[in-house]
Amino acid sequence: MNGGGPPETAALLPAPGQAPTRGCSLAGPRMAPVEHLVADASAFLRGAPLQEIGRRVYTTREVLAEIRDRAARRRLAGLPFELLLRQPFPEHVRLVSDFSKQTGDFRSLSAADIQVLALTLQLEAQHGGGRPLRTEPRPQVQLSLTPRHPEAPVDVPGFHVPAQTKCPGNEKIPLVAERDPGDPAALADTEFSSFLFWRSPLPDIEEDLEGLLKADPLLLEAEDPEGQESGEEDGWITPRNIEQMQQSSCWGSEPAQVQVGCITTDFAMQNVLLQMGLHVLAFNGLLIQHARSYILRCHGCFRTTSKMTRLFCPHCGNKTLKKVAVTVKDDGSFHLHFSQNPKVLNPRGLRHSLPAPQGGKHASNPHLTEDQRFPQQRLSRKARQKTNAFDPDYVAGVSPFAEHDIHSRAANLQIRDAALGAGRRRLNPNMSRKKCLKNKRPRRPAQPQQHEGGRAGLEGRPP
């Protein structure tokens, strides 16, 4: 299944607030099979042995529609177990959608991913034994116990900070002006009179350097090549320790009996499952270690918003919102975790000029502003008759006498019930389109006719 590579490993992530469990390698100590296992498309694409992980394997029709690889379709047709197809209830789909909007993963989830999460929630409610689940993400608080800067102001209005050191008795500290100008201590104090707080002088390192120069040279021992090689491999994943690294990435010590679990390698799905309190299964170490919450940050005006469904910045109106991980400090302020990639915004497709605006009821214009007006893109009247159940000539299902709309402009433009995307296209909309001239041959130039006397085509011309 895996082409002679490292064996597939299954890892179980614990739900927040519970005792950690351990996911074991399938080649090593086996984990107890999950009673009800919900599989994502990644499990079928990577050829995971689902019959060894779960007793009953569930999935949705949307997941099967995502599998288009020929090898994966062949493995899917020859599964050694029964694959159960289930559709989640609408209330569970709504709960998962609202929860993912609060965690900030809604934009990273497709319709099939939400269906898988909702099916896992539905099976947990049916077979989980009434275990309480979260309806909203738990706020993450990061304690920042950093010491105060020595130059930080201490006279804050409304607060009283007592002095750390007190003078013994009635001893009076002489001011700088009252001291003897020849006193070296007074000269040292005058050097720092421009600062708000006293700083210790810089250490004198000349004596330390002289001591190092006078020290006896150390005898360097011959280095062991094997020890050097092992030292270079510390912290790196090599073919020798890949199985150990995959097993060490699993948490806990003993596998637990799990009733309902979801196997996926999508990090956004794992983040939602963990914060809801559901069990997550992963293989080959493709799992997250910490659950995170996200917000949107505008890279144009540097404002933030927690509404993850927005496409344009609510402050400046530009389409420069990017997802950023966030944690809350002990004082209630947000701590943003930025990406180290300098190319956060993709400028691809912005070098071309905007196309000329189109009119009509089927116009296709780029979405540039939030309050931009768009045509309704309705289907034709004949196409709407196929779904009109109150029509007296309505025939349910596929009928050989059903009328199909193939001549209207909506049918020629392939108008479907899909929402318009935001942003600009990557291709140049102003480039000329070449017309197909496959069956047309270029005309040959007309040959002049030869007449008597060697004069070609001169008869009939005016003098």
With a CB cutoff of 8 Å and minimum separation 6, the contacts of 196 are 151
**119 within 8 A of 264, measured Cβ to Cβ:** no
pLDDT value at position 120? 92
CA distance 96 to 397: 32
pLDDT value at position 11? 41
Q: What is the DSSP string of 274-296?
A: HHHT--EEEETT---SS--EEEE
Give the three-class secondary structure for 318.
coil
pTM above 0.75, yes or no: no
Strands 260-263 and 34-39: parallel
Instruction: Evaluate the CA torsion angle 272, 275, 278, 279 in order and state its sign.
Output: positive
How many CB atoms sit inside 10 A of residue 273's CB? Answer: 28
Give the three-class secondary structure for 3.
coil
CA distance 342 to 97: 31
pLDDT value at position 131? 73
pLDDT value at position 197? 46
262 labelled ligand-binding: no
**76 within 8 A of 52, measured Cβ to Cβ:** no
User: Which pLDDT tens digits describe the chain residue by residue (463 residues)?
Assistant: 444 443 343 444 444 444 333 333 333 445 568 889 999 998 898 888 888 888 899 999 999 988 888 888 888 888 888 899 999 999 999 999 999 888 888 888 999 999 999 999 999 988 877 777 777 776 654 444 444 444 445 555 555 555 555 555 555 545 444 545 555 555 444 444 444 444 556 666 676 767 666 655 544 444 455 555 555 555 576 667 666 665 554 443 344 677 898 999 888 898 889 888 888 887 776 777 777 888 889 988 989 888 888 889 999 998 888 888 888 777 777 788 887 776 777 777 778 888 888 888 788 888 888 888 888 777 777 666 666 667 676 665 555 555 566 666 666 666 654 433 444 455 666 676 666 556 656 566 666 655 555 554 445 555 5
Query: Which residue do the tokens 């799905």 mark?
Result: 269
313 labelled ligand-binding: yes
With a CB cutoff of 8 Å and minimum separation 6, the contacts of 362 are 375, 377, 409, 410, 413, 415
CA distance 121 to 88: 9
24 labelled ligand-binding: no
pLDDT value at position 361? 79
**292 within 8 A of 271, measured Cβ to Cβ:** yes
143 forms bridges with which residues in the sheet? none
pLDDT value at position 180? 53
CA distance 27 to 184: 76
Compute the chain's Rg from CA coordinates: 36
Query: Which residue do the tokens 């993709």 mark?
Result: 346
316 labelled ligand-binding: yes
pLDDT value at position 335? 83
CA distance 311 to 369: 9
CA distance 209 to 202: 15
Tokens representing 273?
């499952």
Instruction: Please give the single-letter amino acid code of residue 133.
Output: L
CA distance 306 to 105: 11
Closest CA to 294 of 308, 280, 312: 308
pLDDT value at position 275? 87
pLDDT in tens, 124-169: 988 877 777 777 776 654 444 444 444 445 555 555 555 555 555 5
